[in-house]
């Protein structure tokens, strides 16, 4: 009612209802609070810790050093998304077990795990990630930064880069990985088995016998120190090959307590497990010795869910068999260069579900020790620069007609057990390739005991191009030059070197 207190009118109404015999729940209107005496200090001088400031800072605000993830670190205010972690051997001692040529490096699986931690392990699709400069794990700490920028006109898509820089003023920044990530999966799913049960595991023959030890013992014996994995990264238990498809199937398992601890810390695809999938592709190179493979690029990576146990299975399908040649020592030798290592499918061994798929993985294959002097088929020796005056070539020349091959052969075998290195210069002028001395020397120059460098000098650029087209397919050290008079007359005061084209 107007000009009256609402509270008094409410209580007066309650009293009239009570007098009339209405059943009223006074506990609902006037609840009795729970007693608080047991949580209050017993006396004024009692000191009890009621809040953990460090716990509140890291857990509730994610502002600790590794608040957003154990490997990606914490978020830094910036225009895009920027995360930073402190990378060192002391901060991540298990990373020092991943060694390539005795140098501890961040594995490619580590960069992928960092992207998973940025988005909290949700389903995502990495269109491409390029592995650029190596990220060394040293005792000196560095800033490991992950930067993401949204792509215009593309929803839920980002470009990312992972770099490091020392803790000093104006430090140089090294970019280790970059790529594109999307939170929306592509419409077309990967054409691979959706579960481990769809793969006939009985068709895979073991590559390593039980009596020969672990698969990593085979890698150590064949590939030497190219891949030196410590205990933390030796997680492949068995590996098999399907002879009809040349595909590989490996089973991976790490210590269950370590995996549980890593899951509690915030890892989604622990790098030692995912890196075992990359290890599986290395077993395709065991037919050669002392090779090294550096990851270059991973394309079309789809992450579905984190594993439910410490056991995984990797299925590798190669697009084509590895090409091998037989070197001069009679050993199989994989062709160096960029190599397509095929697709990698990762399955949870406990549930059998597909949890991660890599469409294409490319690596650079090389043999660093092939150029070592002790492993080289070449030899070094000293020789005079010019023919000595007292040496005569007459006795080394044939008695009848002297051909160009006889002259070169006489120059190479001057009182020496080892053929001399000879440079031959022919002024071919405007002669056709079939009329040059090189044309008649080809059979001799291809012999195994010849050591030479041949220079073919033509009259002009057009003739030099014709000579190059005729001889550039030969496996010989030939240089093509020209002495075009018009070039020299165009700048009479400037001394120019003749144009060269090497084949």
User: What is the per-residue pLDDT for 124?
Assistant: 95
CA angle, residues 68, 129, 178, in degrees to nearest 5:
65
Cα 452 versus chain centre, distance: 40
User: What is the per-residue pLDDT for 60?
Assistant: 47
What is the chain's Cα-based Rg?
A: 37
Answer whether 280's CB lies under 8 Å from 239's CB. Answer: yes
User: What is the per-residue pLDDT for 442?
Assistant: 75
User: What is the per-residue pLDDT for 168?
Assistant: 82
Strand order in the sheet with 500-502: 422-429, 452-458, 478-482, 500-502
Give residues with Cβ within 8 angstroms of 368, minimum separation 6. Answer: 101, 226, 290, 292
User: What is the per-residue pLDDT for 281?
Assistant: 81
The contacts found for 476-485 with CB under 8 angstroms, 24 or more apart, are: 476/442, 476/445, 476/446, 477/452, 477/453, 478/438, 478/454, 478/502, 478/503, 479/453, 479/454, 479/455, 479/503, 480/456, 481/455, 481/456, 481/457, 482/457, 482/458, 483/457, 483/458, 483/459, 484/459, 484/460
Q: Within the chain, how many helices (H) and strands (E) appear?
A: 11, 23
User: 3-state DSSP call for residue 464?
Assistant: helix
Per-residue pLDDT of the chain (503 residues; tens, 9 = 90+): 567 788 888 888 888 888 888 888 777 767 677 777 777 766 666 666 555 555 444 444 455 555 577 899 988 888 889 999 999 999 999 998 888 877 899 999 999 999 999 999 999 999 999 999 999 999 999 999 999 999 999 999 999 999 999 988 778 889 999 999 999 999 888 989 999 999 998 899 887 644 456 777 777 766 666 677 888 888 888 888 888 888 899 999 999 999 999 999 899 999 999 998 888 887 777 666 667 778 899 999 999 999 999 999 999 998 776 666 666 555 666 777 788 888 999 999 999 999 999 999 988 877 766 555 455 444 555 566 666 555 555 555 666 666 777 777 776 665 555 566 777 888 888 888 888 888 887 766 666 456 677 888 988 888 888 888 888 776 667 888 887 654 544 444 333 333 443 33
Residues 424, 445: Cα–Cα separation, whole Å = 11
Answer whether 241's CB lies under 8 Å from 247's CB. Answer: yes
- Domain range annotation of the chain: 74-368, 394-502
Instruction: Kindly report the pTM of this predicted structure.
Output: 0.62
Residues 499, 490: Cα–Cα separation, whole Å = 14
Nearest Cα neighbor of 154 from 187, 188, 196, 183 is 183
Residues 108, 359: Cα–Cα separation, whole Å = 15
Answer whether 89's CB lies under 8 Å from 104's CB. Answer: yes
| CA contacts within 13 A on the Cβ side of 7 | 0
> For domain 74-368, which CATH number applies: 3.40.50.720, 3.60.10.10, 3.10.129.110, 3.30.70.2740?
3.10.129.110
């Amino acid at each position: 009612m107007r000009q009256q207190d609402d509270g008094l009118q409410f209580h007066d109404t309650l009293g009239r209802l009570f007098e009339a015999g209405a059943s009223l729940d006074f506990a609902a209107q006037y609840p009795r609070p729970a007693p608080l005496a047991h949580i209050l200090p017993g006396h004024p001088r009692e000191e009890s810790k009621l809040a953990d400031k460090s716990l509140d800072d890291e857990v509730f605000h994610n502002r600790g050093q590794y608040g957003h993830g154990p490997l990606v670190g914490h978020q830094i205010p910036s225009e895009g998304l920027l995360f930073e972690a402190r990378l060192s051997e002391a901060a991540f001692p298990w990373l020092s077990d991943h060694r390539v040529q005795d140098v501890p490096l961040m594995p490619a699986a580590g960069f992928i795990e960092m992207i998973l931690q940025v988005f909290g392990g949700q389903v995502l699709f990495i269109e491409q990630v390029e592995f650029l400069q190596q990220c060394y794990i040293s005792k000196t700490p560095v800033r490991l930064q992950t930067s993401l920028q949204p792509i215009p006109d593309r929803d839920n898509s980002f470009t990312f880069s992972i770099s490091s820089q020392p803790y000093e003023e104006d430090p140089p920044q090294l970019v280790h990985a970059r790529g594109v990530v999307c939170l929306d999966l592509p419409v077309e799913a990967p054409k691979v088995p959706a579960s481990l049960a769809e793969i006939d595991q009985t068709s895979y023959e073991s590559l390593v016998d039980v009596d020969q030890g672990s698969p990593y013992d085979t890698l150590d014996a064949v590939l030497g120190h190219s891949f030196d994995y410590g205990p933390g990264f030796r997680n492949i238990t068995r590996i098999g090959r399907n002879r009809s498809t040349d595909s590989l199937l490996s089973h991976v398992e790490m210590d269950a307590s370590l995996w549980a601890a890593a899951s509690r810390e915030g890892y989604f695809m622990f790098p030692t497990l995912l890196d075992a999938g990359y290890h599986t592709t290395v077993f395709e190179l065991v037919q050669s010795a002392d090779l090294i493979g550096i990851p270059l690029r991973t394309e079309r990576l789809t992450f579905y869910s984190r594993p439910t146990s410490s056991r995984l299975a990797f299925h590798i399908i190669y697009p084509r068999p590895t090409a091998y040649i037989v070197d001069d020592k009679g050993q199989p030798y994989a062709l160096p260069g960029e190599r397509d290592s095929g697709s990698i499918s990762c399955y949870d061994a406990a549930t059998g579900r597909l949890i991660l798929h890599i469409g294409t993985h490319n690596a650079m294959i090389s043999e660093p020790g092939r150029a070592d002097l002790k492993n080289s088929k070449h030899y070094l020796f000293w020789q005079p620069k010019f023919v000595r005056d007292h040496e005569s070539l007459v006795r080394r020349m044939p008695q009848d007609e002297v051909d160009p091959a006889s002259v070169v052969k006489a120059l190479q075998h001057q009182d020496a057990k080892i053929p001399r290195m000879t440079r031959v210069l022919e002024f071919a002028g405007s002669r056709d390739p079939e009329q040059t001395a090189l044309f008649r020397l080809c059979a001799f120059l291809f012999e195994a005991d010849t050591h030479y460098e041949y220079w073919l000098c033509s009259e002009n650029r057009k003739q030099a191009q014709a000579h190059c087209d005729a001889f550039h397919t030969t496996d010989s050290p030939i240089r093509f030059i020209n002495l075009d008079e018009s070039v020299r007359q165009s700048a009479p005061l400037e001394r120019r070197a003749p144009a060269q084209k090497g084949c």
